[in-house]
Structure 1
């Protein structure tokens, strides 16, 4: 549809906004015609009251007519990261809307030149905020980029990788800030547990079949036993002589309750009650220690 056709159709539509052509499908307008029509719509948009149907029509039509700018900008990021193209276009559309709301014809600048930086900026922000494997503050995300550029710049003159102190001097920051940025950069990508741990040969093949998952440590049940014994030792010292003797016979010598009763000259039932009381005291003490 050309600008002339759109204006002719608009004149025949009773629903056309005063001073604006009625466009049935703004997304089908050719980019060259969109530039011409955009000037007409921007001129009317500035005098229409915000929130009215007329203002909404003009603004929505401008968005639809200029979506080709978003698709053009998004195509530059097609092979970057794992971002879905539909998501990139949606994010870029946010930039387009911001550009439309802030554009002023009096600046005598083409809308395309004004809008593209907004669109690209939103897309870059999307990748910056969503492609990190570990969430880190935006300050450190931006610092990672500065450090990478500084490394590349300094390496040319030094013929080696710059030190932390050299990077700090170049960027006007403290050594601690550079170190923090380098550590945070480790969160940008995450290695797979299926990645080989062995050194690759000259053609990039892993020398062995072990992966990170194969050598990943697991909780050692014996460690929990050691911790429990370490906690239990001072509690045993708090028992009286008979209580300690009963514990030793039951769990050290592994005597039955009947055998303990014979040894102490008491009934098996009495031994059972004593054991229950002693174990309750020890268990309560261990919970308190935790």
Structure 2
């Protein structure tokens, strides 16, 4: 386990650094664009390429700042361990990293059962490998949504921020419930983009504010979960996989449930409830630090 907290930096300075991480990540979207792409949609290939450059830059600068602030000699751990990049040396440890992913799938039990009844799951009738996998994951949009965004966002907003906040001696509750707010706030820049692209009027403003509030709440709650998983397992790989899985599933759409026969509809609704219950019951067992041989960030007695 890691030595006692060093408190080399104050909590206020640590939070300022986290704000800087968020600023570097978002500011790059505007620095790495040209005049021709300023009015293009965020899903335009040119915009996606520019933003991939931006987040790659942020993912290089942020860990360098962590390396400077949290020297490995003060914790007896390498910078790779501090950032959660190291992998367990044993097969059981590697399997243990999949616990949060399984937990996330359990939370999505309702949507998965719905997809099953619609025969849209892997190897079912309506599933087409080329259409649903190859054309999606190997497209520029798919690479952004399912690879680049999960990797860079979790690395900057989870690994780098928690490493700095932890060094400042902030409690676990702060790391779990407060640090993800930076992740939620960083998504608010979409509001300005949507406001201008959707018409820039009062009606659009109300719609944008409501949409941004929902996104802030959703991303913050998700951040609570993956921050908890990161601290419990001391690895960023689990949050990355969970983030990618959530992006694949999207926010649950319950509108099509009414199209199912009564019995299937009841099963789907029960699955939504059961998924939440099982998630609560299995949260600690599937994120137990002993599953991966211990965590740098979670005391053995906790």
**Structure with bigger RCO (C-alpha 8 Å, 6+ apart):** 2
Fold in common (TM above 0.5): no
Which structure dedicates a bigger proportion of its chain to helix? 2
Larger Rg: 1
TM-score, normalising length from structure 1?
0.27
